[in-house]
Amino acid sequence: MAVVELTVCPLGTGTTSASKYVAGAQEILAGQDEVKYMLNPMGTVMEGDIDEIFALIRKIQEDVFDKGIERVYSIIKVDDRRDKQASMEQKLASVRKRLEK
């Protein structure tokens, strides 16, 4: 299972606001049930099968293009572990456990 963070930056919008594009991404994610996701102030974290996540990233990018944007810059961070099952909660719990020491 992969944990992926996506930040999509539409360029040439004429405004500094990106909330319209973030809302579009959240609607796409809400319309499916294969990939778990969590919005944060700087992007969206997704958890699930890497191929399904990449397919969603493509849909999210196309949604921005469909809104009339000619250039989309995306930042994608991937944590794809094969040695053990990883999740958003597990990653946070691991850090919290170390902080308790």
> What is the chain's pLDDT, residue by residue, as a tens digit (101 residues)?
899 999 999 999 999 999 999 999 999 999 999 999 999 999 999 999 999 999 999 999 999 999 999 999 999 999 998 898 889 899 999 999 999 97
**Could you tell me the residue range of the domain that residue 85 belongs to?**
2-99
Q: Is the overall model pTM greater than 0.95, yes or no?
A: no
Q: At what angle do helices 50-66 and 19-30 cross, to 10 degrees?
A: 140
**What is the per-residue pLDDT for 50?**
96
- Number of structural domains in the chain: 1
**What is the per-residue pLDDT for 101?**
78
The domain that contains 34 carries what CATH number?
3.30.70.930
DSSP 8-state class, residue 12 = S
CB of 53 within 8 A of CB of 4?
yes
- 67: nearest Cα among 6, 4, 2, 18: 18
Q: How many CA atoms lie within 13 A of 63 on its CB side?
A: 19
